[in-house]
């Protein structure tokens, strides 16, 4: 779970954000700042928080974003965005995955050429997950018969590396499972 606040950069975003934070505080929620984590006792009320500063394409928005940076930039991740212009959406997605501590792994068929491979329909796993856990997520039988995987991505020493079931994966890795 995560709190994502969308502040309108054309209409006093600092006040909007303060009001939202205050209201959530009154309901007993705690907004976790950068580097803070729930201690487990308050896992249902303490959540990581991201602030999306929307309408960055409107004149005057940059000044208001500066005010948001001054008030919140050191405390919470800030994303400057424009839903209309589709700006900042990739940054928001990256921040969501980082805050939720999850990674996206893509699987390709051994019959599929890497040049033809399109990254879509990722397997979503917790950070620290292994090839074996990814195979389990795809199909239980695949996990039981797993011999090795071919890996392309940041967690390997080189693209096309052969790895075992215990290899820890990184966000965006592509694996070809051999069973």
- Whether residues 85 and 136 share a domain: the answer is no
**Phi and psi angles of residue 106, each rounded to the nearest 5 degrees, phi first:** -110, 140
**Whether residue 109 is found in the same domain as residue 161:** yes
Angle CA 5–10–14, to nearest 5: 50
CB-based burial label for 14 (10 Å; 0-12, 13-18, 19+): middle
Is residue 27 packed enough to be buried (19+ CB in 10 Å), middle (13-18) or exposed (0-12)?
A: exposed
Q: What is the pLDDT of residues 63-81, one digit of tens each?
A: 999 999 999 999 999 999 9
Cβ atoms within 10 Å, residue 24: 17
Number of structural domains found in the chain: 2
User: Which residue range(s) make up the domain with 59?
Assistant: 3-100
Domain match, 120 and 155 both: yes
- Chosen domain end from 85, 100, 115: 100
Mean pLDDT computed over every residue of the chain: 92
In tens, the pLDDT along 19-58 reads 999 999 999 999 988 887 777 667 678 889 999 999 999 9
If asked whether residues 89 and 107 sit together in one domain, one would say no
Give the 3-state secondary structure percentages of the chain, helix then strand then coil, rounded to 5: 30, 25, 45
d(CA 149, CA 159): 12
Handedness of CA 65, 70, 72, 78 (dihedral sign): positive
- Kindly report the pTM of this predicted structure: 0.74
Q: Is the pLDDT of residue 154 over 80?
A: yes
């Amino acid at each position: 779970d995560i709190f994502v606040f969308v502040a309108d950069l054309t209409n006093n975003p600092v006040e909007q954000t303060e009001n939202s934070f205050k209201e959530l505080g009154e309901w007993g929620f705690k907004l976790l700042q950068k580097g803070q984590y729930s201690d487990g006792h308050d896992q249902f009320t303490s959540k990581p928080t991201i602030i999306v500063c929307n309408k960055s394409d409107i004149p005057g928005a940059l000044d208001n974003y500066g005010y948001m940076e001054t008030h919140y930039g050191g405390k919470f991740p800030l994303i400057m965005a424009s839903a209309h212009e589709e700006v900042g959406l990739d940054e928001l997605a990256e921040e969501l995955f980082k805050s939720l501590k999850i990674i996206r792994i893509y699987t390709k068929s051994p019959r599929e050429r890497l040049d033809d491979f399109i990254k879509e329909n990722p397997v979503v796993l917790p950070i620290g997950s292994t090839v074996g856990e990814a195979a389990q997520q795809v199909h239980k039988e695949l996990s039981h018969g797993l011999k090795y995987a071919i890996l392309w991505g940041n967690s390997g020493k080189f693209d096309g590396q052969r790895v075992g079931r215990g290899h820890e994966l990184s966000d965006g890795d592509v694996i070809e499972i051999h069973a």
